[in-house]
Each structure stands twice: as structure tokens, then as C-alpha cells.
Amino acid sequence: MLLTRLRKYIYPPRESLNLQNIFKPFYVMLSLLGLFPYSIRFLGGKQFLIKPKSIYTNAVCALSLMLSMTLFLIFHIDHIIYKSTEDNSLTEGFMTQVNYIIEMLNLEIFCVVYYFSSFLNRNKFVKVLNTVAVWSDRISISGIKTLSFLRLKIHFSIGILMFLLISQVCVNFTRVDSLWKKVLVMFTFNIPQMIQFTAILFYYILVNMVITLLVIIQENISISTRDTKTSSFIRVEHRMPLSLKQLELIYIKAFELKRDINKAFEAPILLTTMQCFHSIVSESHIIYHGAVMEPHMVLHSIMNCSVWILYQLFKLYILASTGHLLQEKNLKIGQMLHSIRKDKNDFQLLLEIQHFSNLIHFHGKGLTVYGLFPLDGTLMFKVVASAAMYLIILVQFDKRN
């Protein structure tokens, strides 16, 4: 009975598929970590209402978690500097010790910045949810398909978080170290990184909600681009359920949501990119120093550093693939507009297509981080290439103790 209710909760029946049932499991995870500033109430699956004064409760939750991580960060730094590190192959040597501390500080700073940014932009999150809920419910033809697409993305995100939680716990508590050291690592590395992954996947889900609006546009345009032959002399043309002006309105809404999401996550993404770059360099340097310069690292430490590097690559992949998919859908709509079947004398339709094309050209720019670099398929290559070049320079200054 319990398993049946859990299955219906995670996989609601197709006829009752709405944004409420889809987003609620991930919303629970966000609330547990204090990453969603408001407590929201689902009104019939069509609108998300903010519970009055819920921001204060969530702020207390976020502040308590931040104070706990900061306290354990101080304990961990004290343990590294003032305690003996002869039994710890990850913190031997001055350079590796400094990188170890910087890595902890990077994760802590990310958590502080994200909590601050999320509370400043808290209304934008609810705006995205309400806009997608309204349009997916209004468009019954393609709404079910787009919601199924979104449900797949959210379940993928939840599965990734569960896998990361299990892997981090296994790696941490199988190390040959004291229990106090394991607790310090859990509060200064594992929990902050889980917060970071949850925030990144929340960004991934919000951008995919914007993509669902673009999919609605794409599905409606594709109906008018195909025809059906009922016989050798009769051709039946399909008309779009929505007019081009209505599709333009959806596109403008999608652009506004994309701009709000980009503004809310710019600072956390910038810090994530910097933290990933530093982690790739520092963990690779720790492996090099402990396995080549002074061979003393055990297999578990090498695996620990390698897995940590894979975590950073996965963060970059999520950010890069999300921006790339958004650009791809945007480009596809622009191409499909010119495939709409039209009469050469229908000047009104031709003008609407031209206006829509200009709108896409003007607003179709991808996601960026303060205009410094785009979030597209090249992000992962740029960071990894820069880290590799910096590591090559860094190892030349490494010396044996």
C-alpha cells in the first residue's frame, strides 16, 4: 500500500499530469535544504500561491544550515593547521594544504552567495512556475507531451542527487581516518556540494521549463508544416491550433523567464565555474604530488580525488548542455517558421512570419554570465583546457620535501 502511494506520488497517472505533481518531489528536496525561499501551496495544479510569512521560516532554516557549515569549517581548518597531518595524504605539503583550504572556502562562499541570491530573486522562481503551469494547462494538445518531457528531466535530477548522496557517503566513510575527521569532511565538503548540485539542478529544471514553452511553439508550428494526402487528388492541410500572434506571446513570455533565470543564477554559476576550475587543478595536483613527486598516496585517496574531479566535470556538463539545448530549440523554431505552408498573396501571414523571425533574432541570444562567457557547449572545453594548461605550469614549480 505504501509503495503504491509512493509510486503514484512520483509517477502520477497521465490524466492527472500537471506541474504540481511533477515539481512537488523536487520542491520537497529544495525545502529541506532551504533553497526555495518561499513555502508554496498548489491550487488545483494551475497556480502556485505563496504562503504568508513563510519566508521567515525558510530563512531560519537556511541560516541554521549556514551557521553549522561555517562552524565545522572553522573546526576543519583548525584540524588541518594545528593537528598533525602525517597520516593524511591529502593535506601533506604546503601547496596541497592551501588548495585543500581554498576548496572548502569556495564551497562555503557558493552556499552563502546562492542563499543570498535566491532570497533576492525569490519572486522570479514562483513567476516561472506559474507561467509554465498556465500555458501547459491551456494548450491541451501539446501540454501533455511537454509535461512528460519536463517530468523526465525532474526525475533525472532527483536520481542524480540520490546517486551523488550515496557516492559521497560511501567515499567519505570508507576512508581510513578518525570519526571526527569524517564528520568534518561531511559538513565542509559533502553537504555544501550537495547544496551546490541541488542548486545547479534547480537551474537546470527552470531552464527546461522555459524549453517546454519553446516546445509548445515548435509543436504548433510543426502541425502547419505537414500535410496529409487522402487520395491522389485531395490534399488536406493542417492548421495551427494557435495563431502566430499567440505563439509570439508565448515566446515573449519564455524570453522574460529566461532573462529572470539568468539574472537569478549569474553569481552562483560564476562561482561554480571558478570552483570547478580550482578543484580540477588542485585535485589533479594532489594526485600528481602524492603519486609522482612523493609516492605515498593510498588507492582510496587517489580514487577520492578522481571522483571529486568527475563531480566538477558533471557540474560543467549540466551548465553547458542546458544552455546548448535552449539555443538549439530557439534555432529550430526560427527554421520551422519558414516551413509554414502559406499563399504568396497572403501578405498578413508573411508579415507575421517576418515579425516573428525578427523577434527570435533579437531575443534569441543564449545564456551568459554577466556577459563574460556564454553558457553553451563550449563551456566545458574552455574550463578543462584552461585547467590543463595551468596544471602544466603548476607542476613545474613542485619540489620534493
DSSP 3-state of 40:
strand
pLDDT for 357-393, tens place per residue? Answer: 887 877 767 888 988 888 888 899 999 999 999 888 8
Per-chain mean pLDDT for the chain:
81
Look at 106-110, 206-210, 285-289, 310-314 and tell me which has the smallest mean pLDDT.
Answer: 285-289
pLDDT the model gives residue 261:
92
Q: In this model, does residue 234 exceed pLDDT 50?
A: no
Closest Cα to residue 112, out of 165, 63, 56, 78? 63
pLDDT the model gives residue 332:
86
Which residues share a beta bridge with 30? Answer: none
pLDDT the model gives residue 186:
92
Q: Please return the burial class of 299, using the count of CB atoms within 10 Å of its CB with bins 0-12, 13-18 and 19+.
A: exposed
Per DSSP, 187 falls in state I
Q: Grid coordinates standing for 164?
A: 551523488
Look at 75-79, 205-209, 262-266, 300-304 and tell me which has the smallest mean pLDDT.
Answer: 300-304
Look at 105-119, 137-151, 361-375 and tell me which has the smallest mean pLDDT.
Answer: 137-151
Q: Which of 12-16, 36-40, 86-90, 187-191 has the highest mean pLDDT?
A: 187-191
Q: Grid coordinates standing for 201?
A: 539542478
Who's near 221: CB < 8 A, 6+ residues apart? 240, 247, 333, 336, 337, 339, 340
Structure confidence at residue 2 as a pLDDT band (50, 70, 90): low
What end-to-end distance do the CA atoms of the chain give, in Å? 63
Q: CB of 56 within 8 A of CB of 267?
A: no
Percentage of the chain lying above the pLDDT 90 cut: 27
User: What secondary structure does DSSP assign to 292-328, as a single string?
Assistant: IIS----HHHHHHHHHHHHHHHHHHHHHHHHHHHHHH
Look at 46-50, 186-190, 262-266 and tell me which has the smallest mean pLDDT.
Answer: 46-50
Q: In this model, does residue 5 exceed pLDDT 90?
A: no
Structure confidence at residue 228 as a pLDDT band (50, 70, 90): very low
Q: What is the mean pLDDT of residues 3-7?
A: 61
Look at 33-37, 211-215, 218-222, 253-257 and tell me which has the smallest mean pLDDT.
Answer: 218-222
Q: In this model, does residue 179 exceed pLDDT 60?
A: yes
Per DSSP, 238 falls in state P
Q: In this model, does residue 238 exceed pLDDT 60?
A: no
pLDDT the model gives residue 236:
42
> Using CA atoms, how far apart are residues 134 and 256, in angstroms rounded to an integer?
15
pLDDT the model gives residue 223:
74
Q: What is the mean pLDDT of residues 251-275?
A: 92
Q: Which of 22-26, 299-303, 386-390 has the highest mean pLDDT?
A: 386-390
Closest Cα to residue 216, out of 238, 262, 248? 248
CA 151 to chain centre: 15
pLDDT the model gives residue 3:
61
Structure confidence at residue 231 as a pLDDT band (50, 70, 90): very low
Q: CB of 108 within 8 A of CB of 76?
A: no
Q: What is the mean pLDDT of residues 133-140?
A: 68
pLDDT the model gives residue 8:
59
> Using CA atoms, how far apart are residues 394 and 99, in angstroms rounded to an integer?
12
pLDDT the model gives residue 205:
93
Q: In this model, does residue 146 exceed pLDDT 60?
A: yes
pLDDT the model gives residue 14:
56
Q: What is the mean pLDDT of residues 19-39?
A: 86
Q: In this model, does residue 397 exceed pLDDT 80?
A: no
Q: CB of 218 within 8 A of CB of 254?
A: no
> Using CA atoms, how far apart are residues 83 and 248, in angstroms rounded to an integer?
63
Task: Give me the amino acid identity at 153.
Answer: K
User: What secondary structure does DSSP assign to 353-382, as a single string?
Assistant: HHHHHHHHHHH----BSTTSSB-STTHHHH
Q: In this model, does residue 266 exceed pLDDT 90?
A: yes
pTM equals: 0.87
Structure confidence at residue 42 as a pLDDT band (50, 70, 90): confident
